[in-house]
Amino acid sequence: MPLNLDIQYVKGVGPKRAKLLKKLGINTVEDLLFYFPKDYENRSDILKIEDLKVGEKQTFRGYIAGSPREIKTSKVIITKVPVKDGTGAVELVWYNQPYIKNNFKIGEEYIINGKLQFKYGQLIVENPVLEKSEDFKLNTGRIVPIYGLTEGLTQNAIRKIMFNALHDYVQEVEEFFDEEFLSEKGLMDIKNALININFPQNEAYLEQAKYRFKYQELFLLQMALFLMKRSVKEKKGIKFEQADLKPFLMGLPFKLTLAQIKVLKEIIADMNSHKVMNRLVQGDVGSGKTVVAACSMYIAVKNGYQVAMMAPTEILAKQHYYTLKELFRNTDIKIGLLSGSISPSNKKEVLEKIKNGDYDIVVGTHALIEDNVIFNNLGLCITDEQHRFGVRQRALLTQKGENPDVLVMTATPIPRTFALILYGDLDISIIDQLPPGRKKVKTYVISSSVREKAYEFAMKEVKKGRQVYVVCPLIEESDKINAMSAEIVYREIYKDAFKEAKVGLLHGKMADSDKEKVMEEFVNGKIDILVSTTVIEVGVNVPNATVMIVENAERFGLAQLHQLRGRVGRSEFQSYCILISYSNSDIAKKRLGVLAQTSDGFKIAEKDLEIRGPGEFLGLRQHGLPEFKIANIFEDIDVLKRVQKDVEELLEKDPKLENYPKLRSILLNQFYQKLEGIILN
């Protein structure tokens, strides 16, 4: 296959340049053709010399008006070549490149690009880029591609190589969308797109070429994910028998909400089928995901299987452990806790009990996916707050059983468009309702100049017997970043404001055992005010806490603040969230205002996206998606939406892609492999 040809053999490359190109990850002709420019410079406007502006980089046409002149000083050789166009004259200037003078013949016409300067009493262009007027232009007179380079390789060189490669090999690149599809979706065909993404004919063609490749990347990934979801579903898994949940449900101090029941039914339907469950449960903070998960655990255990529940932090794992113990206290279900911080002897015992099947449910951190953890009969894997785990970790956990069912829980509201690509291999259930009687958390945005008011208010609540969180963006004081640190707040400010309260400090750099001790004291009410960083963001449950104060709230994303706010409002007491802003900018105010107005996590996530821009949206960037060359799921959300519609339509029309053999084969051969590293199922 010519496209697999080693890059060395491409015209103009050779062994030396091949080494450089390989540094850029370009090993074959195909790699080269798909090595897209990182930027473009529009040099297509060709000006007259009289219209050139001093100080700007511009392109113009001119002929060589005289012989090159050489000026030798002790330090440097200057070569000057006069150029005219009938409207004016400039000198092209090179330093220490004496051989360049041999390139020029009087009267020859060039397209020249460079910055016009006034120097030596003349208009000059230093080190211009120029190409003969009659030649095909790669560096001037067009929209010029700018490639990522490595030392020893110049733009001119890679452009030339790319041009040759396109000329010799682009015909070999196969289109995998059929013609009808291309015209229906308004997509440029792949050959033209390759030519135009490298050497665009004009802006419009460049846009079309980019669109084609963005569409292609997103389309293939989305398609692969959907197909994967389907293939997982076809995989034979455990068929759990219907278990009688009544005794368990009757023992709860509340009735499930309709939304919880709806989601539970979806889970039960999965569990009762032969197919493997792969389900994401999304529900806003406090919507009651844990109980729903507990129901599924109950079913699995009653069927004689073990359950693993993995949480992203020690604190959260421990909390789940206690919550489950409480929920199952009237049953004979045995629950174990496996975390990184337990003593070696204790750990040995826990591992033993997991292996023997003495534990029905094991709650833990990443420690659960270590090699030494062996289950007796793992039938259900639950991961909480999935966005903290890579997809790979989820897969590692499931490998500890034989096609166990998988339940993923997240409180991160993800708009459907992203959910389809981030969790495209999962079915999605949404708990879209909070338990009744919850009081809305009253949310206020205040300026830092009146922050004492917030402290006074918090103190009042403490005196009523309530507890308070204070969250700061930093752990320690920093010279570089002007923001509140937990330590400063803890040591100085709160000494005064909270001298009558017991204040604790919690942050991610503390030893696990210290963290736990502080957290325990807070849970037990020994600490009134907990000053912390965002380590408490995920899932912590202390119903007696009614005030959340966030220092430098403008530094957090809305979705993150929403999560923080979810730590209060967990009881019948009215709760409060006070966001202290140290910024006067309108955008910051507008952003924080959103939280004061709504408590709907999905709305907040969408606003966050709208205002803050996509790049910042949650921590989802580290999610473990394959790298795109050109698409960006956040910036190209419109393309993504179209792609999803198109993929869904196509799969509906032709579930096995029987009429799309080329598409099928590219998915299976090329793309599936790339994905396999990520989704191991």
Q: Report, in Å, the least distance between residue 281 CB and Mg ion.
A: 10
Nearer to Mg ion, 317 or 445 (CB): 317
Does residue 164 sit in helix, strand or coil?
A: helix
**3-state SS, residue 133:** coil
The window from 292-300, 396-404, 505-513, 531-539 that contacts Mg ion (CB under 5 A) reads: 531-539
In the shown chain, the binding pattern of residues 381 to 420 toward ligand ADP, with x for contact by CB under 6 A and - for none, equals ------------------------------x---------
**Of 2, 390, 435, 525, the one binding ligand ADP by CB under 6 A:** 435
Q: What are phi and psi of 409, to 5 degrees?
A: -115, 135
Q: By CB under 6 A, name the one of 17, 289, 318, 562 that touches ligand ADP.
A: 289
Q: In whole angstroms, how close is the CB of 539 to Mg ion at the nearest point?
A: 4
In degrees rounded to 5, what are phi and psi of residue 667? Answer: -65, -45
- Cβ closest to ligand ADP, residue 257 vs residue 599: 257
- Of ligand ADP, Mg ion, none, which one sits near residue 256, judging by CB under 5 to 8 A according to partner kind? ligand ADP
**Do residues 369 and 393 make contact, with C-beta atoms less than 8 angstroms apart?**
yes
Of 266, 247, 623, nearest in space to 432 by CA: 266
Q: What are phi and psi of 312, to 5 degrees?
A: -75, -20
The one of Mg ion, ligand ADP, none whose footprint includes residue 288, by CB under 5 to 8 A per kind, is ligand ADP
Judged by beta carbon, residue 382 or residue 488, the one nearer ligand ADP is: 382
User: Minimum Å distance from CB 381 to ligand ADP?
Assistant: 17
For residue 519, give the 3-state DSSP assignment: helix
State the minimum distance, in angstroms, from the CB of residue 523 to ligand ADP.
13
Tell how many helices (H) and how many strands (E) occur in the chain.
Answer: 23, 23
Residue 451 contacts ligand ADP per CB under 6 A: no
Report d(CA 676, CA 681) in Å as an integer.
8
**Residue range at the interface with ligand ADP (CB under 6 A); choices 150-158, 282-290, 584-592, 607-615:** 282-290
Stretch of 66-74, 278-286, 413-421, 621-629 contacting ligand ADP, by CB under 6 A: 278-286
> Of 124 and 294, which CB lies nearer to ligand ADP in the complex structure?
294
> 422-441: which residues touch Mg ion (CB under 5 A)?
none
Q: Which of 196, 216, 282, 287 binds ligand ADP (CB under 6 A)?
A: 287
Partner whose footprint covers residue 560, from ligand ADP, Mg ion, none (CB < 5 to 8 Å by kind): none
Q: How many residues does the chain have?
A: 681
CB-side neighbour CA atoms (13 Å) of 402: 8
311 vs 489, which CB is nearer to Mg ion? 311
- Let me know the angle formed at the C-alpha of 56 by 54 and 58, rounded to the nearest 5 degrees: 110
Minimal CA–CA distance to 127: which of 157, 99, 95, 153? 95
- Max distance between CA atoms of the chain, in angstroms, equals 100
98 or 435: whose CB is closer to ligand ADP? 435
**Cβ closest to ligand ADP, residue 290 vs residue 534:** 290
Binders of ligand ADP among residues 542 to 581 (CB under 6 A) are 570
Q: How far is CA 108 from CA 88, 98, 113, 124, 128, in A?
A: 16, 19, 16, 18, 16
Q: By C-beta, is 466 or 570 nearer to ligand ADP?
A: 570
Q: Does 237 bind Mg ion (CB under 5 A)?
A: no
Contact between 283 and ligand ADP per CB under 6 A = yes
Helix axes 258-271, 289-302, angle to 10 degrees: 30
Closest by CA position to 259, among listed 279, 286, 288: 288
**357 touches which of ligand ADP, Mg ion, none (CB within 5 to 8 A by kind)?**
none
Rounded to whole angstroms, the Cα distance separating 492 from 487 reads: 8
Single out the segment in contact with ligand ADP by CB under 6 A; choices: 98-106, 285-293, 330-338, 339-347: 285-293
Q: Which residue is nearest to ligand ADP (CB)?
A: 288
Binding of ligand ADP by 433 (CB under 6 A)? no
565 binds, among ligand ADP, Mg ion, none (CB under 5 to 8 A by kind): none
Alpha carbon of residue 675 to chain centroid:
16
Nearest-approach distance from CB 505 to ligand ADP, in angstroms: 25
Please, what is the minimum distance in Å from the beta carbon of residue 440 to Mg ion? 19
Asked if 291 interacts with ligand ADP (CB under 6 A), we say yes
Considering only residues 207 through 266, tell me which ones interact with ligand ADP, judged by CB under 6 A. Answer: 254-257, 260
**Chain CA centroid to CA 329, Å:** 40
Rounded to 5, what percent of the chain is helix, strand, coil? 45, 20, 35
Q: Which is nearer to ligand ADP, 291 or 529 (CB)?
A: 291
Closer Cβ to Mg ion, 215 or 389, answer by number: 389
3-state secondary structure 40-65: EEECCCEECHHHCCCCCEEEEEEEEC
| Shortest CB 621 distance to Mg ion, Å | 23
Q: Are 158 and 149 a contacting pair, CB within 8 Å?
A: yes
In 3D space, the residue among 396, 386, 407 whose CA is nearest the CA of residue 297 turns out to be 407
Distance CA 306, CA 379 (A): 6
The pair of three-digit structure tokens given for residue 305, joined into one six-digit string: 């299987």
Residues touching ligand ADP, count (CB under 6 A): 17
At 71, is the secondary structure helix, strand, or coil?
Answer: strand
Residue whose C-beta lies closest to Mg ion: 539
Least separation, in Å, of the C-beta of 450 and Mg ion? Answer: 34
Tokens standing for 528? 């009134």
CB of 550 to ligand ADP, least distance (A): 18
Q: Which of 539, 557, 569, 601 binds Mg ion (CB under 5 A)?
A: 539
Nearest to 576 by CA among 492, 413, 454, 488: 454
Q: Is the dihedral of CA 358, 362, 365, 369 positive or negative?
A: positive
**Given the rule CB under 5 A, which residues bind Mg ion?**
539
**Given the rule CB under 6 A, which residues bind ligand ADP?**
254-257, 260, 283, 285-291, 411, 435, 541, 570
